[in-house]
Structure 1
Amino acid sequence: MANSNLPNRIIKETQRLLSEPAPGISASPSEVNMRYFNVMILGPTQSPYEGGVFKLELFLSEEYPMIAPKVRFLTKIYHPNIDKLGRICLDILKDKWSPALTIRTVLLSIQALLSAPNPDDPLSENIAKHWKSNEAEALETAKEWTRLYASGA
């Protein structure tokens, strides 16, 4: 592993992610680029994403931890705060970012977002409208997408 030019902080965070994984989350650095993480988040129980395995990518720029990691979903997901490119609308990835936060905090927050979609701060207008006008149907669609795209197949 070539981490000679990696800041200590990233090395420590990576070691902690690997040695004490958060429940339902796995994140491992790419062997080619230690700033690039392959992430898997299990759909939280009691959510329409339950049973799903969602792949994400997380990238730490040169400015990390002064700026937030870049994270996006690679698995298609029906969620008002995640757009079709997998971008995530989450305050701590934008204006609420603080260098005190860690990769682990970010992933736990994304996992929490799966349990509590927020159609009032949407990234996907259509999905948010669906969520607000017919939540039961939107939840069914989310479950269907989870079966179709996140079944770990």
Structure 2
Amino acid sequence: MEHFYLSTNAYSGSISCSTLRLQALFHRYPLSMLVDAGSQPLLREDFTEKSPQAFEMSTPARKRLMRDFKRLQQDPPAGISGAPQDNNIMLWNAVIFGPDDTPWDGGTFKLTLQFTEDYPNKPPTVRFVSRMFHPNIYADGSICLDILQNQWSPIYDVAAILTSIQSLLCDPNPNSPANSEAARMFSENKREYNRRVREIVEQSWTAD
């Protein structure tokens, strides 16, 4: 089972769909500096000593992912964080916090990103691990988002992917539904849609 570690002071600052790159999210250590190390979190600064094979610079994709990771450490966008899994820089864990002043406010949503050696020429496979109710998210957690499909460009990095998904939470496209029930409810009964989203938010607090 994969683990996601958060600082006890993890959530600070205001996040909105229109202002996604604010001050750093975490007070001391961002999630991107932590990695599953069995029963205890391990500071990412020690990661190369514990699992050097994950940071081998043998391919363009791995080199690019290392640059993406360094950017996330140095300038983490508000409300998102991500890091490679131990021993595998091609598979990442990520967390997105629901934007403030939206039905998603306060939610903590986990994702995985699976990269191939074709990255950044091809996008990763991104899925929510957390249960979701959203017009553009399938039952298996995969995401209907143009930049992960036909609008992908090599200029997008991990931070851009995660901030785009965060924006999608509160700005869905019901005309391209992955969840027809959520899309119909979003268009026809916003009050009930928001109630269902709040249920998902509350479930995210206790999900393993």
Does the Cα contact within 8 Å between 2:59 and 2:117 map onto a contact in 1? no
Q: Which amino acid is 1:22 matched to?
A: P
> 1:130 aligned to 2:176?
no
Pairwise CA RMSD: 1.3
Specify the SS of the correspondent of 1:34. Answer: strand
Which residue, out of 113, 116, 123, partners 1:58?
113
Per-residue CA deviations over 1:16-42 (Å, capped at 9, x if unaligned) read: 112221111110111121111110000
Specify the SS of the correspondent of 2:205. Answer: coil
Question: Which residue number in structure 2 is paired with residue 151 of structure 1?
Answer: 205
Matched residues, number: 152
Structure ID, larger Rg: 2
Q: Which amino acid is 1:128 matched to?
A: A
Higher deviation after alignment, 94-103 or 115-124: 115-124
Question: Counterparts of 1:84 and 1:101 in 2: how far apart (Å)?
Answer: 25
Higher deviation after alignment, 67-76 or 12-21: 12-21
Q: Which structure is higher in RCO with an 8 Å CA cutoff and minimum separation 6?
A: 1
Which residue, out of 87, 106, 109, partners 1:32?
87
Q: Which amino acid is 1:123 matched to?
A: A
Does the Cα contact within 8 Å between 1:18 and 1:27 map onto a contact in 2? no
Structure 1 unmatched runs, 5+: none
> 1:80 aligned to 2:135?
yes
Question: Counterparts of 1:6 and 1:23 in 2: how far apart (Å)?
Answer: 30
Per-residue CA deviations over 1:80-133 (Å, capped at 9, x if unaligned) read: 111111010100000000111111111110010012122111111121112122
Please, what TM-score do these two structures have when normalized by structure 1?
0.93
Does the Cα contact within 8 Å between 2:84 and 2:91 map onto a contact in 1? yes
Closer/same/farther in 2, CA of residues 42 and 55 from structure 1, 3 Å limit: same
Closer/same/farther in 2, CA of residues 152 and 43 from structure 1, 3 Å limit: farther
Specify the SS of the correspondent of 1:38. Answer: strand
Specify the SS of the correspondent of 1:27. Answer: strand
Runs of 4 or more consecutive aligned structure 1 residues displaced over 6 Å after TM superposition: none
> 1:108 aligned to 2:163?
yes
> 1:49 aligned to 2:122?
no
Question: Which residue number in structure 1 is paired with residue 174 of structure 2?
Answer: 119
Q: Which amino acid is 1:151 matched to?
A: W
Q: Which amino acid is 1:117 matched to?
A: P
Higher deviation after alignment, 65-74 or 6-15: 6-15
Structure 2 unmatched runs, 5+: 1-51
Question: Counterparts of 1:54 and 1:37 in 2: how far apart (Å)?
Answer: 14
Question: Counterparts of 1:120 and 1:81 in 2: how far apart (Å)?
Answer: 9
